[in-house]
């Protein structure tokens, strides 16, 4: 009886561990993020309004994409941007958003780094 209980606990631990590993890929980045932009920001060819976004990291063969979906609005915006994963020397200690300014003086998203990831997303 104790053996069966111990076996059940062991199976639960293995299943929970598999779920934890499934949320990250081989590059050590999660599949889903949340980010807030305090100002408008250009992602790919779209100028996103300020606000909160859910970002899904999608892999299609060797290509990486980030899909930005605005949350908390009646008509959410979806933007898909190709990215390159660049390995970091160690896990990121904090979230970072790195921008460049274009000729129209708009913030253009250049890099995203998320705490705990082992790679950064470069656009």
Show the tokens assigned to 79: 């933007």
**113 in helix, strand or coil?**
strand
In a domain, 10, yes or no: no
Asked if residue 3 belongs to a domain, the reply is: no
How many structural domains does the chain have? Answer: 1
* The pLDDT of residue 15 is above 60: no
Quick check: is 73 in a domain? yes
pLDDT in tens, 53-92: 999 999 899 999 999 999 999 999 999 999 999 999 999 9
> Is residue 80 situated within a structural domain?
yes
* Contacts made by residues 33-38, CB under 8 angstroms, sequence distance 24+: 33/57, 33/112, 33/114, 34/71, 35/95, 35/97, 35/112, 37/97
For the entire predicted model, the pTM comes to: 0.75
Domain coverage including residue 116: 27-122
Residue 52 has pLDDT above 60, yes or no: yes
Residue 42 lies in a domain: yes
> Does the pLDDT value for residue 11 go beyond 90?
no
């Amino acid at each position: 009886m104790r053996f069966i209980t111990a076996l059940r606990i062991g199976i639960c631990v293995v299943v929970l561990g598999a779920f934890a590993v499934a949320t990250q890929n081989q590059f050590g980045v999660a599949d889903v993020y949340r980010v807030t932009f305090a100002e408008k920001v250009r992602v790919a060819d779209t100028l996103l309004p300020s606000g909160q976004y859910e970002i899904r990291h999608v892999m299609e063969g060797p290509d990486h994409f980030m899909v930005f979906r605005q949350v908390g609005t009646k008509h959410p915006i979806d933007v898909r941007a190709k990215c390159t994963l660049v390995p970091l020397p160690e896990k990121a200690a904090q979230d970072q958003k790195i921008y460049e300014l274009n000729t129209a003086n708009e913030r253009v998203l250049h890099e995203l780094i998320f705490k705990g990831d082992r790679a950064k997303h470069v656009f």
